[in-house]
A and B are shown apart, each in its own frame.
Chain A
Amino acid sequence: MNDPYKVLGVESTSTDDEVKKAYRALSRKYHPDANIDNPNSELAEEMFEQVQEAYSMLMKHRQTGEPLPTEKGKGPGTDSRGRTYSSTFNTYGGGYTSAFEQASYGAAGSSDEYVPDGNDEASVKLRAAANYVIAENWGEALKILNFMPMVQRDARWYFYAARAYAGVGSAATALQYAQTAINMDPQNMKYQDLYRSYKAKGEKYSSGSSIYGGSSSNGSNGGACKN
């Protein structure tokens, strides 16, 4: 796996804008449309993909703290399933994956995440759903979860359902379901942590918005032409 910094020609101390500028220059150079007459167009295409991959990897690393593959094994949260990063460029795990699900559990969740035990029917189903959630296969997880009758929906159900709904971008559902899990089992820290991670993500955005005038409504008109 190539060092994304080297591919783009930037440093770890470069600003995001510098990274973007470097990306734009390289991607313009190797873009398929710019290399139609190039006898080495296959090489250009390969370079284009490498540049895309490097950019994606680097930006993801900067946004989520996910370690770069060159740092594999050096820190916590390593994707021990060896998933390549190119798969994260164009999909978020086979569909739409909400980044606030990823933020809570790291890249695709760690492979040693606890899954429900128990041999009763509900636990067996939950285990299957949990594994889908960990693999970020939200659709399959929801299929199992939504088919379980209300009597089988305990705190664990709401916990995994919250994450699955978060994964498909249903923010209000995720919040309420996380809250339900807490209500049903107030002692379980996992449920508290999940809810907190959702709020934290929203608050991080809020605090980041202050340099642009913040989210306070001061009644000013933002239109171009109404004044």
Chain B
Amino acid sequence: MYGYVITNKPELKMKEFDEYRSFYCGLCDTLYQKFGRAGQLTLNFDCTFLLLLLDGLYEPVANEYERTCIEHPLKKHGHATSEVTDYAADMNLLLAWYKLVDDWKDEKSAKAYAASLLVRKNVKRIAAKYPKKAAVIEKAMKRLAQLERRAASDGSLSATGRDLSGFGFSASGRKATSGAESARLLDELAACFGTALAEICDYKQDEWSTTLRKLGFNLGCFIYLADAYDDRHKDEETGNFNPFLLLYKEMSQDDVEALAKTDLNLRMAECTECFEFLPILRHGEILRNILYSGVWQKLNLPDLKERP
């Protein structure tokens, strides 16, 4: 699920890319200082975005330094950290932890299990530092797993767990648009990750709390949807649960594609509206590059390439 919130690199100015990289490297370095090599390996781009977003909003004093790093060992380059980097590193670890747990439960990945052991002690410490956030994230990820499990085992189940087929037909004698209830399930699933990201984006519970939460919520929904969409064929083959497979049972392929595209667009529309509402000047163009263009880079939306 991670790796969608990235830049569209060719579209970035050189100095914007340098700025992005210096915060990325600063985050990486901070992860290493705080959590060792295992922690450093959990670095993801989504938390780099979080870092730039919050750094842009709060403009804390930046600590800038030059050095080489493990991924760029040849030449010294800028690293930037601030108090927000510390927070982003903590959230990075939390997110990575839940993903690892998910991976080893889902795919029985021994590698994921081993990796999780290496960071477990630090994760416990971070969870204790942010009890509410950790609780919300954990609950959301558990609910996501639960909903997916339930939907996988019973295809006619509605999102609320109530079997609606017993209610009969609607007033006009026609059933709801096919796919309407599967769309509801899709929203419920996406909202789990949305809720987790909303909680993460709500850094200080201040006057920007509502806007940040809404931004995070929609971005989280987008990420879940994009990931599910990209995996739909693979999941069909492996027999893993995928909400789009349910939609395909009830709607034509074209209709599912159209719904997916509109849904993804609407999520980013909401997200960017929140972003533009925030009084962010610092890193503004990098963040816009990510939110308006970068998030689409990894996605495999077939007919977008034909668009004029």
* Contact stretch, chosen from A38-46, A68-76, A167-175: A167-175
* CB nearest to A170 among chain B residues: B187
Q: A89-B207, A154-B171 are in contact. Are A100 and B24 (CB under 8 A)?
A: no
**How many A residues, CB 8 Å from partner?**
71
A64 → B minimal CB distance (Å): 9
Q: Please indicate the chain A residues that have their CB under 8 angstroms from the CB of B272 in the complex.
A: 205, 208
Which A residues have a C-beta under 8 Å from some C-beta of B?
16-17, 19-21, 23-24, 27, 52, 55, 59-60, 63, 89-92, 96, 98-100, 122, 146, 149-155, 157-158, 165, 169-173, 175-177, 179-180, 183-184, 198-199, 201-206, 208-209, 211-225, 227
**B139 CB to nearest A CB, Å:** 17
With a 10 A CB-CB cut-off, give which of B24, B176, B294 has the most chain A CB atoms: B176
Interface segment out of the listed B95-103, B141-149, B214-222? B214-222
Interface string of B1-40 (1 = CB under 8 A from A): 0010011111100000100110011000000000000000
A96 near B214: Cβ-Cβ < 8 Å: yes
Return the chain B residue nearest A215 by Cβ.
Answer: B296
Contact B20 A224 (CB under 8 A): yes
Of the candidates A60, A204, A222, the one whose C-beta lies within 8 Å of that of B7 is A222
Compute the total of residue contacts between A and B using a CB distance below 8 Å.
216
In angstroms, Cα B281 to Cα A150, docked, is 50
Complex Cα spacing A213 to B265, Å: 15
Q: List 6 A-B contacts (CB under 8 A).
A: A151-B169, A169-B191, A176-B259, A177-B176, A202-B265, A219-B297
Does A169 lie within 8 Å of B218, measured CB to CB?
A: yes
Contacts of B183 in A (CB 8 A): 172-173, 175-177
| Contact in complex: A208, B292 (CB < 8 Å) | yes
Q: Is B280 part of the contact surface with A, judged by Cβ < 8 Å?
A: yes
Interface contact A224-B293, CB-CB below 8 Å? no
In the docked arrangement, what's the CA distance between A92 and B172, Å? Answer: 35
Would you call A23 and B262 a contact (CB within 8 A)? no
B66 located at the interface, meaning its Cβ lies under 8 Å from any Cβ of chain A in the complex: no
Which chain B residue shows the least CB distance to A205? B269
Query: Is B111 at the interface (CB under 8 A from chain A)?
Result: no
Contact B210–A224 (Cβ < 8 Å): no
Contact of A92 among B170, B177, B210 (CB under 8 A): B210
CA distance A157 to B273 in the complex (A): 29
Q: A20-B279, A170-B184, A173-B184 are in contact. Are A98 and B307 (CB under 8 A)?
A: no
B266 at the interface (CB under 8 A from A): yes
- Verify B24–A222 contact, CB threshold 8 A: no
**Are the CB atoms of A222 and B170 closer together than 8 Å?**
no
* Residues in chain B near residue A100, CB distance under 8 A: 266, 269-270
